[in-house]
Homo-oligomer: A and B are copies of this chain.
Amino acid sequence: MTASLQLIAVPGIPMVQPGDDLADLIVEGMATAGLTLQDHDVVVIAQKIVSKAEGRFVDLTTIVPSPRAEAIAREVQKDPRLVEIILSESRRIVRSGRDVLIVEHRLGFVMANAGVDQSNVAEPQGRQLALMLPQDPDASAARLQKELEQRSGSTLAIVINDSFGRPWRLGTVGVAIGCAGLPALLDLRGHPDLFGRSLQVTVVAFADEIAAAASLLMGQADEARPVVVLRGLPRHGQPQPAGSMIRPPGEDLFR
């Protein structure tokens, strides 16, 4: 049998508002195209709509930046109120420079601006909204898994993805900031290769590869396709949250 994998962008997802039920929107979106979720589908959901549904907005006009935020804002040439929000979502600054503020997010992700985003967010008159990451993306994924399984009657896995930059390479790639129902990492260490030699280091960031694959269909410049279903992935091992992909600082040569 030929191994294959299908990615389907769920059509008809509307602009998401705080309080929206994403599971309902996804099941309804699938139904408009005559599709249903099936056992072992992996549903990849863009961080932005999870954050919106969870109401993770901050109104910049309500923020009084600290002296530290003011100083950093001058260095990186950003709005000091935005910097204040970024710092409040971060454990520490990893690198900073003009237009660049790379931090360790409170959940351990090393990323630009702690994921705080001013783009693609509707701004009612007088407010200036920024959008933060979900409070606990692994918990969001687990909740969405439960809700989607209830509504679809299928066994599912969930990945919440975002786009991260990387050192050394240009361009962003999709990464998993939350997942449920699948192992974030596939540990192939110790499996023999074709000639019996043990593979040396082969822990695969399975959830990140899923996130990147889905990102190919999601696009960037609009939110028309914030949900992508992967169908046909081989089943693997025990579920494990996306947080387990964060390299322990003590083992990290680049902190």
Contacts and interface: CB of A to CB of B under 8 A. Distances in A.
Nearest to A253: B95
A2 B7 contact: no
A158 to B, nearest CB: 16
B192 A221 contact: yes
Nearest to A215: B209
Given A213-B209, A216-B209, A221-B188, A167 B9 contact: no
A121 interface: yes
Contacts of A212: 173-174, 208-209, 212-213
Given A120-B195, A246-B168, A3 B222 contact: no
B168 A205 contact: no
Interface residues of A, number: 77
A99 B140 CA distance: 37
Nearest to A4: B8
A255 B253 CA distance: 12
Contact of A6 (B4, B185, B197): B4
A84 B219 CA distance: 43
B199 A252 contact: no
A235 interface: no
A64 interface: no
Interface of A: 2-9, 11, 15, 33, 35, 95, 97, 100, 102, 109-110, 112, 118-123, 163, 165-175, 184-186, 188, 191-195, 197, 199-206, 208-210, 212-213, 215-217, 220-223, 225, 233, 244-247, 252-255
Given A169-B246, A172-B205, 8 more contacts: A3-B8, A4-B8, A163-B202, A167-B167, A171-B205, A171-B245, A173-B208, A209-B213
